[in-house]
């Protein structure tokens, strides 16, 4: 039986930490869908189309990965794609409470989908999209944290 997993998020922008989680997931699951949320309570720096494009570029060399956008509940999207796993990344203990609560709610909404938590490699554990955006907006070098094409997009969009 082939197992499809969904890795949902805003990916604003996709970071090397996200890429690391995707690579780990492809070793565990047959297909990994990086599902970029169209609607989010967060104010995004990049449009949905830009976020999808950057993720496609950053993840192009990883097999068994599809990047797409989705609207609505991730549990409904998982059902529509026959995905039995939702992947969530945990960087620190502080992420756990929120992610545990979300996993429990998702199980109530779709009991056919399990949440699997993955941790990034240690060198990516502190990276978040919001920190990358903040450093880039202040003119800092983010080339260690994101794909080179994402660096360019951040400079064009955010540099003061």
Known catalytic residue at 18: yes
**For the CA atoms of 33, 121, 130, 104, what is the dihedral angle to 10 degrees?**
60
Report d(CA 145, CA 87) in Å as an integer.
21
Q: CA-based angle 97:100:106, to the nearest 5? A: 140
- Residue 118 class from Cβ within 10 Å (0-12 exposed, 13-18 middle, 19+ buried)? middle
Known catalytic residue at 129: yes
Active-site option among 24, 53, 91, 107 = 91
Q: Tokens 């039986």 identify what position?
A: 1
Active-site option among 88, 128, 129, 147 = 129
**DSSP run (H or E) holding 43:** none
Active-site option among 18, 51, 88, 147 = 18
Q: Determine how many CB atoms are found less than 10 A away from the CB of residue 139.
A: 10
Report d(CA 56, CA 159) in Å as an integer.
23
Active-site option among 39, 42, 130, 152 = 42
Q: Which residues are catalytic?
A: 18, 42, 91, 129
């Amino acid at each position: 039986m082939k197992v499809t997993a969904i890795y949902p998020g805003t990916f604003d922008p996709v970071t090397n930490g996200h890429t690391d989680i995707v690579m780990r997931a492809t070793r565990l699951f047959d297909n990994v869908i990086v599902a970029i949320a169209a609607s989010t309570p967060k104010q995004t720096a990049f449009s949905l189309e830009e976020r999808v494009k950057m993720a496609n570029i950053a993840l192009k060399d990883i097999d068994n990965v599809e990047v797409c956008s989705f609207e609505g509940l991730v549990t409904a999207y998982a059902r529509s794609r026959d995905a039995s796993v939702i992947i969530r990344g945990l960087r620190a203990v502080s992420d756990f409470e929120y992610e545990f609560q979300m996993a429990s709610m998702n199980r109530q909404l779709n009991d056919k989908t399990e949440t699997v938590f993955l941790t990034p490699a240690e060198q990516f554990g502190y990276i978040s999209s919001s920190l990358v955006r903040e450093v880039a907006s202040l003119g800092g070098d983010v080339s260690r944290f994101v794909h080179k094409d994402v660096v360019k997009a951040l400079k064009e969009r955010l540099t003061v």
